[in-house]
Amino acid sequence: MSDDAVAGETLATVPFDAEKRATELAILDALRSVVDPEIGMNVVELALIRQVIVGETESEVKMILTTPFCPYAGSMLAQVKEQAESVLEHPVKVTLLAERWDPKDAGLEW
């Protein structure tokens, strides 16, 4: 059996969790209040949020920045954590990924 078939079977057996998806969407909605001060757009619109992982006792938001040396990084990470935790009743870890941001991901052309 090929790896694709195994992966397909695994995905097919994982049931859709509507409650977890609703929580992920609520977190993304809360994150819309976190604005990049240099660009004036929120982290969701800018496609800086790469993944939201909702767990039972701890969750994680994986994100990138518009530039590796963003002077507002600390503030934005703290705001993302605060807004995500406002939706959940447990701690949220914010992980900064090393991916490079592309304005095209946000539908921007500069």
pLDDT of residue 1: 45
pTM of the model: 0.83
Which pLDDT does position 2 carry in this prediction? 47
Which residue ranges of the chain lie beneath pLDDT 70? 1-12, 110
What are the structural domains of the chain? 15-106 (3.30.300.130)
Res 10: pLDDT: 58
Q: Which of 79, 46, 75, 35 is nearest to 61 (CA)?
A: 79
Strand, helix or coil for residue 34 = coil
